[in-house]
Amino acid sequence: IRGPPQPVLYCSARAPRGCRAVALSTDRGLRFQRPAPCAALGEPPSGCQGSVVSFARSAGAPSWLLYSHPTDRHRRRDLGLYVNPSPLDGAGWRRPWVLHAGPAGYSDLAVCPGGVFGCLFERGASSACEEIAFCLFTLDPPGDQDLKAS
């Protein structure tokens, strides 16, 4: 995360209490703060891998975070994309946009040129790992936190 006075490394991890744990580092990953629960980002009982990337809405602008993970707190389903325009504020996460309704598992995000993002993810009709899918999407309209698949 680009931000004053120095960059921050943001780590999101599985946690056993129904929500993700977040730890920050201000020394390029040499040391991390003690992990803290992030109630806005749910975690199913068996946990699930998620992906988070930082990006700037415009040149020189502060970083935002984009996070992908199943939105259902009880099982791996309904893969969502969350946006946080204030990355150091754990309560800053916006309501997720569901990219895939149904069983979903691991995902990985990429920031592409031109304000486009990519998400590679597991999904299925009856289980979370029947197939691997890929979707390109944008934040639309620019300056808003709403997502639009392309």
d(CA 136, CA 138): 7
For residue 125, what are the domain limits?
A: 44-149
Q: Consecutive sets of 10 residues in the chain, 150 residues long: mean pLDDT of each?
A: 80 93 94 96 95 89 93 97 93 95 98 95 96 93 55
The answer to whether residue 10 is domain-embedded is no
* DSSP states of 54-68: EEESSTTPPEEEEEE
User: Whole-model pTM?
Assistant: 0.90
- Count of structural domains within the chain: 1
Whether residue 39 lies inside any domain: the answer is no
Using left for φ > 0, alpha for ψ between -120 and 50, and beta otherwise, residue 94 falls in: beta
Model pLDDT, residue 3: 66
CA 64 – CA 54 distance, rounded (Å): 6
CB 7 within 8 A of CB 1: yes
